[in-house]
Chains A and B, each alone.
Chain A
Amino acid sequence: MKIRLSRLAHARSGDKGDISNIGLIATRPGYYGILLREVTAGRVKEHFGSLVEGSVRRYELPNLGALNFVMEQALDGGGTISLRTDAQGKTHGAALLTMEIEVEPDELVD
C-alpha cells in the first residue's frame, strides 16, 4: 500500500550556501528500515524535481534512526542570492514528508 512519508518520519531542513539538507527521522525505531529501503537519494531527487538542480547525497545515522539528505544547487544560489520565498530551504523537510512510499500493511504499528 502507498502511504505518505509523514506517517513514519519527521524532518528538519536548513541551508549552507546553495545546499539544502534534510534530516529525516523515523518516529519509531522499527521504521528506520523502511526509510532505508524506500527513501533513496534518487527518489528524493525525483520528488523535488526543479526545486533541486544539483545532486542529492544520502547519509545514514542508524544510531538516531535518521537519514541526512544533502541537496546541491537547491536554493537558487542560496541565502542572499536566492529569489525564492524559502531561500534557506526551511520548508524542504515538510515537502519531503509529502512523498508517497510503498509499505506492507503489517510493517505499520498504527
Chain B
Amino acid sequence: MIRIANGQGFWGDWLEAPVNLVHGGPLDYLTLDYLAEVTMSILQKQRKQDPKLGYARDFPPLVGRIARDIRERHVRVIANAGGVNPMECAREVVRVAQGLKVAVVQGDDLLDRIDALIRSGYELKNLDTGAPITAIRDRIQSANAYLGAFPIAEALATGADVVVTGRCADAALALGPMIAEFGWKTEDWGLLAAGVAAGHVIECGAQATGGNCQFDWQTTPDFAHIGFPLIEAHADGRMVISKQAGTGGRVTEATVMEQLVYEIGDPGAYITPDVIADFTTIQLAGDGENRIALTGVAGARRPEMLKASVSYHYGWKCIGSLVYSAPDAKAKAETADRMVRERLADLGLTFEKIHTEFFGINACHAHLAPHIDEPAEVQVRIGARDGDKRKLERFSREMIPLVLNGPPTATGYGEGRPAVREVVAYWPTLVPRSGVEATIEVIG
C-alpha cells in the first residue's frame, strides 16, 4: 500500500497545505496540481518575455521549504508545475533545494508542431464547436497535449525525488506512482481506472475533504485547518480516500461523491490518456472515521487520440462597477445601467456583448435569486467584450463619471477606471498519439 496526497488543487491554493501534509503523518507521494485550462497561456506570455520563466513560480520555493523533510521522510513530489518550461522549473528546484534529484517530463508542448499537424490533414477541430483550427491559427498562444501517467512512472523509476511535468491529465499525477510501485501495465484497464477515479477525487485538493461541499456545510469541522486528501492505494486497485488525523474538514460519502461528479461529462466514459474510466461502476463504502473505500471501477481501452488544449487571443474585455446605497438602491443601479448604455449609443459604440448584473440582487442566479424588497446596497456591474481594444478603452471611461452625473449615493469606485484586459480563450481539441512523444531527463 502506498499513500499519495494532493497538496494543491490549483495555482494559488493554500500555501500551508503541502507543508502540513509532509509533517502530518506517513506519506509516500505528494502531488501538486498547478495548471488550470487557461494557465498555460499566461505562462507562455511570461516565457516570451523571459526565456527562464513560464512555470508555476510558487513551486521551487515550496520545495526549498520542505526539502529537508522530504529527504528525511522519503516523500517524493510530483507536480505539473513545469507549465510551458519544465526544464527551467526543474533547474530552479535544484538551485533552491540542492542535493535533490529532479526528473523532468517533456513532450506535451505542440506549439511548434501545429502547422505540421494541419499539413498532415488534422483539422484540430474545436471539440465543443466543431470549428477547424485554421479559424484561429494566427492567434494561437500555446498548444499542449495532455500526457498520461506512464511518463510519470518512468520518471519515478529513475529514482528522482521530484518529478516536474508540463501539461498532463490531472489524475495522472496520482496514477503515475501507482503504476511505478505496483507495476501496472498499459492494458490493466480496471486497475488504471481505479487509479484515475481516486486521482480525480484528490486532484482538486480540499474539495474532497469538505471544502466547497454543499451537504450540511454548516457542520463541517474546522475549515481553517482543513486536511487535504490522501489516497491509500493498494496493488489490487482498492483505494481508500482519507485525510490526516488532527486536521479539519471531513471525508464522507457526500464529500467524495461531490468531487466524483465535479467537472465531468458522460460518467460512463471519463476519458484520460491512459484509460477510459466508467464512474457508473464505482462503489463507495465507509471504512472508519474519515475514510471512504472506493472499489469496483471498470475501465475500457485508452483512446486513440490525445486531448490537447490550445489557447488563442480572442479579444478584449472590461468590467466596471459602482455601488449605490439605500434607499432605492436597485432603482438607482438600474438608472445607472440605462445611462451608460445611452451614452455608449450616443457615441455609436456597439460591442460583441454588453452584460449587466445587479450584484446583491441577481448576479449569480439571475431570475432564480430570491426577491429582496429593500436591499441595503446594490452594485451595478457592467461588462463589455469586443475584438477592438479602442472601443473597450472608451467604455472604461464611462463608469466613473456617473458618480457626479447620475443618481445619488454612488460609491465603491475606489480603484478608479476599470482595466481593459486581454481575453485569451481555450480551444480543446484532439491530436494523434503518434505526434506526441514524452521524454524524461534527470538533473541535480
Residues of A within 8 A of B (CB): 10-12, 14-19, 21, 23, 25, 27, 47-51, 59-64, 66, 68, 70, 72, 76-81, 83-86, 90-91, 93-95, 97-98
CB<8 Å pairs between A and B, sample of 14 = A10-B216, A11-B258, A17-B37, A17-B426, A23-B260, A25-B257, A50-B366, A63-B280, A64-B282, A68-B267, A79-B38, A81-B423, A86-B363, A95-B364
* B116 contacts chain A at the CB level, 8 A cutoff: no
Q: Which residues of B contact A63 (CB under 8 A)?
A: 280-283, 296
Q: Is the interface of B mostly helix, strand, loop or mixed?
A: mixed
In the bound complex, what is the Cα–Cα distance between A27 and B364 (angstroms)? Answer: 25
Is there contact, CB below 8 Å, between B368 and A61? Answer: no
Is there contact, CB below 8 Å, between B267 and A12? Answer: no
Over the window 280-314 of chain B, the binary record of Cβ atoms lying under 8 Å from chain A Cβ atoms (1 yes, 0 no) is 11111000000000001000000000000000001
Q: Which residues of B contact A14 (CB under 8 A)?
A: 262-263
In the bound complex, what is the Cα–Cα distance between A43 and B381 (angstroms)? Answer: 30
- Known A79-B426, A85-B381; judge A64-B260 contact (CB<8 A): yes
Further pairs besides A68-B264, A70-B265, A79-B425: 4, Cβ < 8 Å:
A11-B214, A16-B265, A80-B424, A86-B363
Is there contact, CB below 8 Å, between A85 and B364? Answer: yes
Is there contact, CB below 8 Å, between A10 and B214? Answer: yes
- Known A80-B426, A81-B425, A97-B214; judge A12-B262 contact (CB<8 A): yes
Is there contact, CB below 8 Å, between B363 and A17? Answer: no
Q: Which residues of B contact A97 (CB under 8 A)?
A: 214
Q: Which residues of B contact A72 (CB under 8 A)?
A: 128
Is there contact, CB below 8 Å, between A18 and B128? Answer: yes
Q: Which residues of A contact B250 (CB under 8 A)?
A: none
* Interface size counted on chain B using CB atoms at 8 A: 52
Is there contact, CB below 8 Å, between B368 and A98? Answer: yes
Is there contact, CB below 8 Å, between B37 and A79? Answer: yes
Q: Which residues of B contact A84 (CB under 8 A)?
A: 355, 357, 363, 383
Question: Shortest distance in angstroms between B267's beta carbon and chain A's nearest beta carbon?
Answer: 5
Minimum CB distance partner of B36 in chain A: A79
Interface residues of B in 258-281 (CB under 8 A from A): 258-268, 279-281
Is there contact, CB below 8 Å, between B366 and A51? Answer: yes
Partner of B258, one of A10, A83, A86, A90: A10
Is there contact, CB below 8 Å, between B365 and A60? Answer: no
What 10 A-B pairs are tightest by C-beta distance, nearest first?
A23-B261, A83-B383, A83-B355, A14-B263, A12-B258, A10-B215, A91-B364, A10-B214, A85-B363, A86-B364
In the bound complex, what is the Cα–Cα distance between A51 and B357 (angstroms)? Answer: 12
* B213 contacts chain A at the CB level, 8 A cutoff: yes
Q: Which residues of A contact B261 (CB under 8 A)?
A: 12, 21, 23, 25, 61, 64, 66, 68
* B338 contacts chain A at the CB level, 8 A cutoff: no
Question: Shortest distance in angstroms between B215's beta carbon and chain A's nearest beta carbon?
Answer: 4
* B367 contacts chain A at the CB level, 8 A cutoff: yes
- Known A80-B38, A95-B368; judge A15-B263 contact (CB<8 A): yes
- Known A10-B254, A86-B363; judge A21-B264 contact (CB<8 A): yes
* B384 contacts chain A at the CB level, 8 A cutoff: yes
Question: Shortest distance in angstroms between A42's beta carbon and chain B's nearest beta carbon?
Answer: 17
Partner of A19, one of B128, B357, B366: B128
In the bound complex, what is the Cα–Cα distance between A37 and B427 (angstroms)? Answer: 36
In the bound complex, what is the Cα–Cα distance between A84 and B319 (angstroms)? Answer: 9
Question: Shortest distance in angstroms between A5's beta carbon and chain B's nearest beta carbon?
Answer: 12
In the bound complex, what is the Cα–Cα distance between A11 and B264 (angstroms)? Answer: 13
Is there contact, CB below 8 Å, between B212 and A12? Answer: yes
Is there contact, CB below 8 Å, between A80 and B314? Answer: yes
In the bound complex, what is the Cα–Cα distance between A66 and B355 (angstroms)? Answer: 34
Q: Which residues of A contact B363 (CB under 8 A)?
A: 84-86
Q: Which residues of B contact A48 (CB under 8 A)?
A: 368
Minimum CB distance partner of B281 in chain A: A63
* B317 contacts chain A at the CB level, 8 A cutoff: yes
Question: Shortest distance in angstroms between B325's beta carbon and chain A's nearest beta carbon?
Answer: 20
Question: Shortest distance in angstroms between B226's beta carbon and chain A's nearest beta carbon?
Answer: 16
Minimum CB distance partner of A48 in chain B: B368
